[in-house]
């Protein structure tokens, strides 16, 4: 084994072994949690089943108490996880919190996290790109070390205080991007990697359900089979502004073969500040039997994916 990798793995093991374990852990669904200190009104996530698969959406609250910390090793070696959405309100991602999540392809870090600790995403080999919100002020040692698929990282704020070897072992051609005007970055290289400033522009991210990030033009939401004249259960869509510029002019329209068979609300907000989210719903009420389709358009001022297009489909039955 590579000596440097062996040394790092031993260090991770020591860090995890010395972590303070919660004395009174409880469960909420598949999550293990505890209070964030004696008498605390906040919560930290301390564990998740290593056998779990797919996307995970970490709850923002547990029994009314805000989740503020992803504790050391909480999701370590959950090799079946493919996506993680961390809720707004979490301020710290602990030591090795997601280390060894070898199937993880996407992580959403909210604009409340201030610290990403040592080894946080160590050896997450399928991560390809990560966006670091402007709230992050510190990144620990080897936080993304051996993320061998990581092609780029984008910083939405000023350069955080960096630990050592944060990006060692990432993909060949790895690049760093930052918003022009942010401080602490250098070009053409920073931390030994190619570095480039880019202009801030609004970005629209659409999820349905939360944690499932849709791709404009290929996304399809199916309502299944519904009796003619009967209104289906609603499907909810969450729009998030993942940039540092305001996302404005949000509106939903639809067209296509059978638009009258689908009804939608409008987003609860038409302007989103950086990191903010809004929702809208869609119902299906077929007017005839057979396949019914329409195309949903989410309009905004985002230069990419405007409009954001989603295919709607359902089957009418007697």
Record the tokens describing residue 111, joined without a space.
């604009």
Is there a single domain that holds both residue 186 and residue 223?
no
81 and 34 in a common domain: yes
Residues 237, 138: one domain?
no
Do 8 and 126 share a domain, yes or no?
Answer: yes
d(CA 158, CA 270): 28
CATH code, 163: 3.80.10.10
Torsion from C-alpha of 266, 270, 274, 280, nearest 10 degrees: -10
Structural domain ending residue among the three candidates 157, 177, 198:
198
Tell me what pLDDT residue 4 has.
53
Judgement on whether residues 18 and 143 belong to the same structural domain of the protein? yes
The domain in which residue 209 lies consists of 204-317
The span from the CA of 195 to the CA of 59, in Å, is 34
Q: Of 198, 225, 246, which closes a domain?
A: 198
Residue 2, classified by CB atoms within 10 Å of its CB into exposed (0-12), middle (13-18) or buried (19+), is exposed
Say if residue 184 is in the same domain as residue 287.
no
Query: Last residue of some domain: 180, 198, 216?
Result: 198
> Do 268 and 236 fall within a single domain?
yes
pLDDT for res 90: 94
| 11 and 85 co-located in one domain | yes
The CATH number for 273's domain is 2.60.40.10
Number of domains in the chain: 2
Same domain, 163 and 283: no
What local confidence, expressed as pLDDT, does residue 38 receive? 65
Q: Cβ contacts of residue 307 below 8 Å, gap of 6+?
A: 216, 253, 297, 298, 299, 300
Tens of pLDDT along the chain (318 residues) come to 454 554 455 445 544 444 444 346 899 999 999 998 767 899 999 999 999 998 888 988 999 999 999 999 999 999 999 888 888 889 999 999 999 999 998 888 888 999 999 999 999 999 988 989 889 999 999 999 999 999 999 898 899 999 999 999 999 999 999 988 899 999 999 999 999 998 888 889 999 988 788 888 888 999 999 999 999 999 999 999 888 788 999 999 999 999 999 999 999 999 998 888 899 999 999 999 999 999 999 999 988 788 999 999 999 999
Same domain as 250, residue 128: no
C-alpha 154/C-alpha 131 separation (Å) is 5
Residues 236, 143 share a domain: no
Do 257 and 144 share a structural domain?
no
């Amino acid at each position: 084994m590579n000596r440097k990798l062996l040394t790092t793995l031993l260090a991770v093991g020591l860090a995890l072994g010395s972590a303070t374990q919660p004395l009174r852990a409880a469960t909420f669904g598949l999550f293990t949690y505890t209070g964030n200190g004696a008498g605390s009104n906040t919560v930290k996530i301390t564990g998740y089943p290593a056998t779990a698969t797919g996307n995970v959406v970490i709850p923002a609250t547990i029994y009314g108490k805000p989740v503020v910390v992803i504790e050391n090793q909480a999701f370590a070696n959950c090799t079946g996880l493919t996506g993680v959405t961390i809720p707004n309100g979490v301020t710290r991602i602990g030591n090795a919190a997601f280390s060894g999540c070898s199937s993880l392809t996407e992580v959403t870090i909210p604009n409340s996290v201030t610290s990403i600790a040592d080894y946080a995403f160590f050896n997450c080999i399928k991560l390809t790109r990560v966006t670091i919100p402007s709230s992050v002020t510190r990144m620990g040692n080897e936080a993304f070390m051996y993320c061998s698929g990581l092609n780029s990282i984008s910083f939405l704020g000023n350069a955080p205080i960096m630990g050592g070897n944060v990006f060692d072992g990432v993909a060949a051609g790895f690049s760093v991007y930052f918003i022009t005007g942010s401080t602490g970055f250098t070009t053409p290289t920073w931390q030994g990697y190619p570095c480039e400033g880019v202009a801030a522009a609004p970005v629209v991210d659409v999820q349905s359900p939360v944690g499932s990030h849709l791709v404009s033009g290929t996304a399809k939401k199916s309502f299944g089979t519904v009796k003619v004249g009967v209104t289906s259960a609603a499907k909810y869509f969450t729009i998030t502004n993942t940039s540092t510029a305001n996302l404005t002019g949000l509106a939903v329209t639809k067209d296509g073969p059978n638009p009258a068979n689908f009804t939608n609300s409008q987003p609860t907000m038409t302007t989103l500040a950086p990191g903010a989210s809004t929702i809208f719903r869609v119902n299906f009420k077929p007017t005839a039997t057979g396949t019914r389709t329409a195309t949903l358009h989410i309009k905004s001022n985002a230069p990419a994916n405007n409009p954001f297009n989603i295919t709607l489909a359902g089957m009418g039955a007697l």
